[in-house]
């Protein structure tokens, strides 16, 4: 299994060229026997996928190349451009927003797990202790921003205009009794923002990467009925590819459910 870490699309192009060379020039997207290249966030997705690649993939007759990517844009653009056969890092609201804005076609092939959003703070221990004018950092991509605002609304810190919940923005805040300042921040920077802001709503993968303990969170998103399960995604023409279908089965297997429960108790929940 090739393990690649990349921070930008240019680096991913180089990595893909190396994979092509290793396969003797065959195009992995067209060769059903080639290793499937999957773009993932480092935590927990890469760890889950490596477990599959190292322990389960051989029995399904597939090989998996784990391509780690530290942002939420490159995995989709690289997949659309044919540098990957699949990715595994995002939920459907984000996928729909991304593909709609860029007019590209990508297709989910299976939900794998849920990473609950949570509110953290280094300055208070309860959300009601946030002071007047507190600064609260939120993820700045539209789908996770709406999700974060709904989490804050569930605590009573703010109230949203009725009917705006699914696509809420800061302009949809109807009541803000403490006049908290909502700071839109790149998701990867949210754990660092805790040094300056009074609180931050942090995505699950970045919670794990920063070793934030859910037990210390001021509020945690409910898993029941959660629409934000992380997906295995591919291009429409690869949806029936035997490697993609086999990988989807493995990621949803009981072995992976058990691995997730043991490795990320509470922080990652099988879908």
pLDDT in tens, 180-220: 999 999 999 999 999 999 999 999 999 999 999 999 999 99
CATH 3.90.650.10 fits 3-116+227-270, yes or no: no
Predicted local distance difference test score (pLDDT) of residue 156: 97
- The CATH T-level fold of domain 118-220 is D-Maltodextrin-Binding Protein; domain 2 (3.40.190)
The pLDDT, as a whole number, for residue 271 is 87
Secondary structure of residue 109 in the 3-state scheme:
strand
Given this model, what pLDDT does residue 14 score?
Answer: 37
Residue 114: enclosing H or E segment and its boundaries? strand 107-114
Segment (H or E) for 87: strand 86-91
C-alpha triplet 144, 146, 148: angle, nearest 5° = 65
pLDDT band (50, 70, 90) for residue 225? confident
End-to-end CA distance of the chain: 26
Considering only CA atoms, which of 65, 67, 115, 61 is closest in space to residue 260?
Answer: 115
Answer yes or no: is pLDDT of 268 > 90: yes
> Domains of the chain: which residue ranges?
3-116+227-270, 118-220
Residue 270 has pLDDT above 50, yes or no: yes
pLDDT one-digit tens code per residue, 94-129? 999 999 999 999 999 999 999 999 999 999 999 999
Distance CA 168, CA 265 (A): 30
From CA 147, how far away is CA 107, in angstroms rounded? 22
Q: Do domains 3-116+227-270 and 118-220 have the same CATH topology?
A: yes
Return the structure tokens found at 242. 């035997």
Q: For residue 26, what pLDDT is reported?
A: 62
DSSP codes, 160-218: EPTT-GGG--GGGEEE-TT--EEEEE-GGGHHHHTTTSSEEEE-HHHHHHTT--GGG-S
* CA angle, 243 then 244 then 245, to 5°: 95
Total Cβ atoms within 10 A of residue 2: 15
Mean pLDDT of 131-157: 97
Does 66 have pLDDT greater than 70?
yes
The Cα-based distances of 54 to 17, 49, 139, 194, 264 in angstroms read 23, 9, 33, 36, 18
β partners of residue 118: 202, 220
So what's the pLDDT on residue 169?
97
pLDDT in tens, 131-141: 999 999 999 99
pLDDT over threshold 50, residue 248: yes
Chain segment 4-62, per-residue pLDDT in tens: 444 344 344 434 443 433 444 467 877 878 999 999 999 999 999 999 999 999 999 99
Task: Output the pLDDT for position 259.
Answer: 98
Which are the contacts of 46, defined by CB distance < 8 A and separation ≥ 6? 40, 66, 68
Q: Inform me whether the pLDDT recorded for 3 exceeds 60.
A: no
Q: What 8-state DSSP symbol labels residue 264?
A: S
């Amino acid at each position: 299994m090739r393990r690649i870490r990349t921070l930008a699309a240019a680096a991913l192009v180089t990595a893909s060229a190396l994979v092509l060379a290793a396969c003797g020039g065959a195009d992995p997207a067209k060769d059903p026997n080639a290793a499937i290249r999957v773009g993932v966030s480092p935590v927990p997705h890469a760890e889950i996928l490596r477990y599959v690649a190292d322990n389960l993939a051989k029995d399904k007759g597939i090989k998996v190349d784990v391509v780690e990517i530290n942002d939420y844009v490159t995995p989709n653009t690289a997949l659309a451009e044919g540098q990957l056969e699949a990715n595994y890092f995002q939920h459907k609201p984000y996928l729909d927003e991304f593909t709609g804005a860029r007019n590209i076609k990508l297709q989910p092939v299976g939900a794998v797990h849920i990473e609950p959003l949570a509110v953290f703070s280094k300055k208070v221990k309860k959300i009601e202790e946030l002071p007047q004018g507190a600064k609260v950092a939120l993820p700045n991509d539209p789908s996770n921003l709406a999700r974060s605002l709904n989490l804050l609304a569930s605590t009573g810190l703010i109230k949203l205009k009725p009917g705006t919940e699914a696509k809420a923005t800061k302009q949809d805040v109807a009541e803000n009794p403490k006049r908290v300042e909502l700071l839109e921040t790149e998701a990867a920077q949210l754990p660092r923002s805790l040094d300056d802001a009074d609180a931050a709503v942090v995505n699950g993968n970045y919670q794990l990467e920063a070793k934030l303990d859910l037990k210390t969170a001021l509020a945690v998103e409910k898993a029941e009925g959660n629409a934000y399960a992380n997906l295995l995604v591919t291009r429409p023409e690869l949806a029936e590819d035997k490697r993609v279908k086999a990988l989807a089965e493995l990621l949803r297997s009981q072995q992976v459910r058990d691995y997730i429960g043991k490795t990320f108790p509470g922080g990652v929940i099988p879908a």
